Every structure is written in C-alpha cells, then in structure tokens.
Structure 1
Amino acid sequence: MTIRPTILVIRTERELRWIGHLVIPGIFDGEHGFVIEPAGENRVRLIQRETFKGLLVPFSGSLLGNTKRSFSKMNLALKERVEQAN
C-alpha cells in the first residue's frame, strides 16, 4: 500500500507537517508533524505529533500502539545521533 502525503506546513528549520489518507480521505487519516523549538544555548527541543482521524480509527488500537512505539524508538535514535555529533 502506498500513501502519498500532502505537505501542510514547511517552516525552514522550524516545522514540517503533512497529512496522509488510507485510500480516500475520511477512512483513516494521519496528520504528522515535527516542530523544532529553541531550548537554551546550543539546544533544541523536537516535538513530534501524530493525529489520526477517520472511520477506522476506533478499530485500530494495536496499530496505533505499534506506531507510537516506533516513533518513540525513532526519537531516541535521533537524539543519540545528534548528541554524538557534538
């Protein structure tokens, strides 16, 4: 299955957000984004958000749990990589 997301927001070095739909909008939609905020000298905070909407969302509990765990792993890997570069 291929999902072709639509870019909603691009703010250089600050935010990237997009939305993707499963088959057609309203069945299972996911809006995903990253925000980078200053957090002190030589520090930033990465905020990752995912919002799901649609008719199938109430029936996708295990999928959403797996997605959350995968994003947490990705965030940790990114944190480790960035900290090693310094």
Structure 2
Amino acid sequence: MDIVINTFGDVRMIYHEGIDPHAIGRPTIRRGSHVEPTADGYWTADLSPVDGPVLGPFKTRSSALAAEVAWLGKHWLNQ
C-alpha cells in the first residue's frame, strides 16, 4: 500500500482495511470509482468521481477492482 504525504501534510492513500486511516489523523474519505455490473453480466470501473475513465468490461468483479486500484495508483495517488 502506498501512502503519499504532500508538503502541506495532507495524506492521500487508496483505502485498504489493513491501515486504519484514523491512526494518521482525521480522515476525509471519498469514493474513487463505482464498480458495477453491466446489463450483459460483465463489470466496469467508472472512475468519474476522480475525473477518470470508465474501465472495462471485465469478466469478474475482482478484475474490475484490480484495474480500479491500478489506475488510481498510477493516475490519482500522486496528484
């Protein structure tokens, strides 16, 4: 897991239950995407909450979640 702290002391991370965000301050948690099923039984990761694309379709929800985390790590985490 990556945790980024900027020069102002703001912390940014992709939420994971392995770290309690309350342990490092008063968290503001917001949604990074919407992982949802499609009408034909596939999955997409809609990253519009962070001004990103819609990824997919994926055969499994876990594949969509993995793509979501990878995209957030590459394009959002270090902003």
TM-score, length basis structure 1: 0.30
Q: Radius of gyration: which is bigger?
A: 1
Q: Which has the higher contact order (CA 8 A, sep 6+)?
A: 2
Higher strand share: 1
TM-score, length basis structure 2: 0.32
